[in-house]
Amino acid sequence: MSSLAKKILGILVFGLLWGIIEIFLGEFLFSNEVMFSSAILSLIALGILFFARKLIVFPHTGFLLGIIAAVLKTGVMGPSNHIWAIILFGLYFDLMYDIIADEVLTYLGNALAIFSIFVLITISMALLKIGLWGADFLNKVFNYTILNGLPASFLGALLKKFK
């Protein structure tokens, strides 16, 4: 198998894994109203993204994983607003990773870099007025960015240490 074929296969496997987790674990967490559901899913996504970027040296790996996960979730559960957040998560992860990959940042610096992903997703969703992001913006900012984004960012910063 060629090097490119291995990279494509790796991207498919990690993207499908992320999508399956979003479908099954996400449905379980949200239907049972588990606190920090988004943080749990985001932390798992960060783990998959960090691991995939370490194993697969290919441009835009995170973005491609996000697209695959979103397509799988849409195919199984139908369209939803969350699909855009998954795609944006992969895209903004790539941007963050490319900026800090070779930097030796403090733990707080890594956490803030990861937190920027949540801030950028919130701003993008609001600007695009996807779902309730335009109408219920302050509630979404608190719930997604602060309540779930901060814990996932600080725990995600630990993942970067293992890269």
Each residue's pLDDT, cut to its tens digit, for the chain (163 residues) gives 789 999 999 999 999 999 999 999 999 998 999 988 888 999 999 999 989 988 998 889 999 999 999 999 999 988 877 888 899 899 999 888 877 766 667 778 878 888 888 888 877 877 776 666 555 667 767 777 887 788 888 888 877 665 5
Of 62, 35, 22, 42, the C-alpha closest to 155 is 42
Please work out, in degrees rounded to the nearest 5, the angle formed at the alpha carbon of residue 107 by the alpha carbons of 95 and 151.
75
Q: Where are the domains of the chain?
A: 3-161
Residue 18 contacts residue 48 (beta carbons within 8 Å): yes
Buried residues in 27-38 as b, exposed as e (16+ CB within 10 A): eebeeeeeeebb
Residue 87 contacts residue 45 (beta carbons within 8 Å): no
The whole-model pTM stands at 0.85
CATH of domain 3-161: 1.10.1760
Number of C-alpha atoms within 13 angstroms, CB side, residue 154?
7
